[in-house]
Structure 1
Amino acid sequence: MNTPLQLVNIQKHFKDGDNEIEILKDLNLSVEKGEFVAVVGPSGSGKSTVLSIAGALQSADGGEVVINGRDINQYSDKDKSDVRLKSIGYIFQAANLVPFLNVYDQLKLVTELAGDWNDETKKRADDLLESVGLANKAKKTVQHLSGGEKQRVAIARAFMNDPDIILADEPTAALDANRSKEIVELIAKEVHDKNKAAIMVTHDESVLHYCDKIYEVHDKKLRLRK
């Protein structure tokens, strides 16, 4: 299957007092294996909502979210949780690390939750920390890391369960230009080397050249930037 993620005719509304505001209308997006897609648009346009729906963090009001050929709207809450844990690697704007765990244990935790902590995944944790340049800080806790280092841990954690889909929500928002480039290079390398599908929501035009396609939120839908 070459299309790990499809959004089909997605609808989304939010309540504002007595009013209902339409955020997304008949939005469609397909992301193929080995494809790194960016979603851009002004604040409040709905781009982070697109990512949240794609990652099964919130439900659409209509349409289908198809992950590996199956519409997850038909899944139970437990099955959706399993999809998030095993098929999706989510990188948040804030690293969202567990404060009292060291770097190595941040990775170990997500794999233990998936029931896959073994010799093979231990080696994967070692290899990932090496690849993001943090092997020498494996035993450091969060408070001893810089902002860029925290985000690299978050990326390694997102890759840890070898997900089919990577979703990144403003991953460079709190970083300087050099760190931003470093972070997006890591995501792009994982996507292209491991044949993943990825969506990155960003305001940062300087990193868009790493992406294969760029979509703009326009009139509650997505429009491919030419």
Structure 2
Amino acid sequence: MRHPSIRAFGAIIAAAAAAGYFPPDAKADPVPVFPGMEIHQGQHLCTLGYVDPGLRVAFTAGHCRADGPVMDKDNRVIGSVATFRDNTPNGTFVHTDQQISDYESIVLTPDVVVNNVLPGGRVLQSDPGLVVTPGEPVCHFGVITGESCGTVENVNNGWFTMGHGAVSQQGDSGGPVYITNPAGSARIVGIFNSVWGTLPAAVSWQSTTQQVREDVGVHGPAM
């Protein structure tokens, strides 16, 4: 499949390298980067959501961002923030027709080893046209709670809630929400955002990929 955003992200990568955001790493062993891994940004501990091995770009929740580089659980640099959106309400009543945006794209450093395999062994694929419906089975992976599965409760404006077994804790933010198939792979449908009331919630991957394209100035077919 053609990736129209390679040129735009290529420009971001070149600018980041020129600005010195990718310091050399003297460690002999390369750092693995994969969906579902623990990441640190400033004082924030979050979960990495999706990794594109071809573009060498990763995604997590926008509210995880902070100044400085993105680190793994051992505080080794894995990349830097390229773009983000975050209008997650804090302490306010959220209407179901309110659009929630919450993503961050991370340009990975040249020396990390990248894959798109979840900790449980499933290959996590991207299909930006895929949408979920109420009652559909989904799973969520977070570094605190691991994998939990349930069903979609409600689909709102760019975000959805989950219940019936899907759980979360602080630190799971940014983790992938996905549907699985008998072949053993998975397709991402959202990035974990927060808990609304008693229900875990995620921003739609379809909405997120469209926002990414707008933010990097790419138009046309989806990534």
Q: Same fold (TM over 0.5)?
A: no
TM-score (norm 2): 0.27
Q: Which one has the largest radius of gyration?
A: 1
Greater RCO structure (CA 8 Å; 6+ sep): 1
TM-score after normalising by structure 1 = 0.26
Greater helix percent: which structure?
Answer: 1
**Higher strand proportion (structure 1 or 2):** 2
